[in-house]
Amino acid sequence: MIEQSGATQAAARRVFHSKVDTIRPTYGFDDVSLAPGTDTVEPADVDLTQTFCGIDLAIPILASAMDAVVDARLAGELARLGGLAVLNLEGVQARYDDPDEILARIASAADDEVHDLLAEAYQRPIREDLITARLEAIHAAGAKAAVAATPGAARRFGPFCAEHGADLFLVQSQVSSARHLATDYDPLSLAEFTRYMPIPVAVGNTTNAEAAFALMEQGAAAVFVGVGPGAACTTREVLGIGVPQITAISDVAAARDAFQAETGRYVPLVADGGMRRGGELAKAVAAGADVLMIGSPLARAEEAPGRGMNWGMAAPSPTLPRGTRIKVGTTGSLERILLGPARVTDGSENLIGALRQSMAALGARTIREMQGVEMVYAPSVGTEGKSWQRAR
């Protein structure tokens, strides 16, 4: 028998805490499925309408504030179909008299040249006269004018846009927090900003329930959810940051419901990114989203300014791009992509028809009812019985 030393005996009494012991499981779109219940309804009886930040929507779709996705033309067409486009105030539309020329150059540039071109293109200063012109063009196209800027630019452009006819201002950053610390400048105070802005102020992006609750307390009219899920975004690879969208949406939805219970104010949740097919839109709503912001699926539209390409908002960074240019192709009109008729079987066309059919099959007549359907952990749902499809 070996006698243990005092040090050995002390070590045996220690409890070691490893971070991996407390890692919680998180879920993305491919990890879950929606379970049918006892009721079904007619697809024609599904009501997708809502008022979002004072703007009436017939379909719960926002077009991402990306230069390859939104200009005045697409904003007008999406408004006709019932959705809302968000214009990037720090993009080429506010830097160039004729943005089509630089958009064409970006779309046609060689892969090994495009990031230098992007960095160069976005060095041109933002012009207030162009912002005014774009707001007027969006209204002339029959759409409400929703615009987005990073927190650093929001203080400058927020009041200006409100004065010149913007209907909604989105303060959008890679990760939004209720309290930003900085030593070299005075950060934007969201509570102060929402108080003096005469139009609704939405805020994004977050994946954290506590942060979302605090943003609502500070006056956010809507909260955007998603860090890194977009097809053109490389934040997760470059920075190692992100939470899978089903978990992120569900967590922030819990904060939204708690905030409503405490204050009586309902703050809509926008699922931003990661959705390519109708089933993913349905899962995002079931996880708790009120509205869905999509980029690359709409960049495939004939009306999109990107000419079959898309790139992330952070791609123009000259030092650390968190986005890349991707080829999405041009597959048809915006109406076909959203409302059909679909010519393909992968769910990437007639997105709203698929959402409506999913809701009908699950007995959900409204977005709020869809948020109450059962969701199950189902990692095999995409492969079960599909061997012949995978072999094609």
Q: Spell out the residues 6+ positions from residue 356 whose beta carbon is closer than 8 angstroms to its own.
A: 43, 46, 48
| Whole-angstrom distance, CA of residue 141 vs CA of residue 260 | 35
CA geometry: angle 181, 200, 76, nearest 5 deg: 120
Can you tell me whether residue 35 is helix, strand or coil? strand
| Whole-angstrom distance, CA of residue 295 vs CA of residue 64 | 5
Q: For residue 282, which of 357, 383, 196 has the smallest C-alpha distance?
A: 357
186 pLDDT band, cuts 50/70/90, is: low
| Average pLDDT value for residue range 203-211 | 92
Instruction: Give the active site residue among 155, 277, 336, 365.
Output: 336
Q: What tokens appear for 256 in the block?
A: 């939204």
| Whole-angstrom distance, CA of residue 174 vs CA of residue 336 | 31
In the chain, the DSSP E strands lie at 32-35, 50-52, 55-57, 61-63, 84-88, 146-149, 168-172, 201-206, 223-225, 269-272, 291-294, 309-311, 325-327, 374-377
**Percentage of residues of the chain with pLDDT beyond 70:** 93
| Whole-angstrom distance, CA of residue 263 vs CA of residue 248 | 23
| Whole-angstrom distance, CA of residue 297 vs CA of residue 78 | 13
pTM of the model: 0.92
Q: Which DSSP letter does residue 90 get?
A: T
* pLDDT tens column, 131-169: 999 999 999 999 999 999 998 899 899 999 999 999 999
Identify whether the C-beta of residue 340 lies closer than 8 Å to the C-beta of residue 357. no
Is the bond leading into 88 cis (omega within 30 degrees of zero)?
no
Instruction: Give the active site residue among 233, 256, 325, 356.
Output: 233
Give the residue carrying structure tokens 């698929």: 354
Q: Specify whether 53 is catalytic.
A: no
Identify whether the C-beta of residue 202 lies closer than 8 Å to the C-beta of residue 53. yes
Higher-confidence position of 47 and 237: 47
| Whole-angstrom distance, CA of residue 175 vs CA of residue 370 | 28
* pLDDT tens column, 314-370: 777 777 777 789 999 999 999 999 999 999 999 999 999 999 999 999 999 999 999
* pLDDT tens column, 227-237: 877 777 777 77
Strand partners, 146: 86, 168
Q: Specify whether 336 is catalytic.
A: yes
Q: How much is the pLDDT for 3?
A: 60
* pLDDT tens column, 109-124: 999 999 899 999 999 9
Q: Is the pLDDT of residue 187 over 80?
A: no
Q: What tokens appear for 389 in the block?
A: 């499809």
